[in-house]
Amino acid sequence: MEEALALMEKAAGQGHAYAMIQLGGIHRVRKEYEQTVKWFTMGAMAGLPMAKFSLACYLEEGEGVVVPDCPAAADWYKYGLADIARHVIKCTSIPHQVGDMAPHYVASETLATSSCTLIPHRELHVTL
């Protein structure tokens, strides 16, 4: 396992974003939450929506960080939702004209009850 971890770290160090999120998952299983947050942060900065959501969860709950950071968590949830919305728009080829009832795609983020009670449930509506 340590050899595989070293190879994964080498790949992540060379900019492979999926290696970064895999390392975050490995450290999560090992309950090494500071390392988990480190790798999810790197994956999020590299643009992976799953890393953005994972990082947001850790920031919201305060695991792997000194204190929960609700504003940062909300931002990372928002960035992840924006990525998903762009993907939905890009992958959907539903023809419509101005004035038509365009379909609505809703991506919802449901935030768990935690010490971050100030973050409300919110939805991002994307109209095609």
Q: What is the pLDDT of residues 67-108, one digit of tens each?
A: 888 889 889 899 888 887 776 665 554 444 434 333 333 333
> Residue 25: which CATH number?
1.25.40
For residue 126, is pLDDT > 90?
no
pTM over 0.75: no
Q: How many domains does the chain have?
A: 1
Return the sign of the alpha-carbon dihedral for residues 54, 47, 22, 9: negative
Q: What percent of the chain has pLDDT over 70?
A: 67
Domain that holds residue 68: 2-127
Q: Which comes out higher in pLDDT, residue 86 or 39?
A: 39
Confidence band of 1 (pLDDT split at 50, 70, 90): confident
pLDDT of residue 112: 37
Q: Which comes out higher in pLDDT, residue 34 or 113?
A: 34
Contact, 121 vs 109, CB < 8 A? yes
Contact, 28 vs 36, CB < 8 A? yes
The string over 100-124, giving b where at least 16 C-beta atoms fall within 10 Å of a residue's C-beta and e elsewhere, is: eeeeebebebebeeeebeebeeeeb
The string over 31-63, giving b where at least 16 C-beta atoms fall within 10 Å of a residue's C-beta and e elsewhere, is: eebebbbbbbbbbbebebbbbbbbbbbbbbbbe
Burial of 29 (0-12, 13-18, 19+ CB in 10 A): exposed
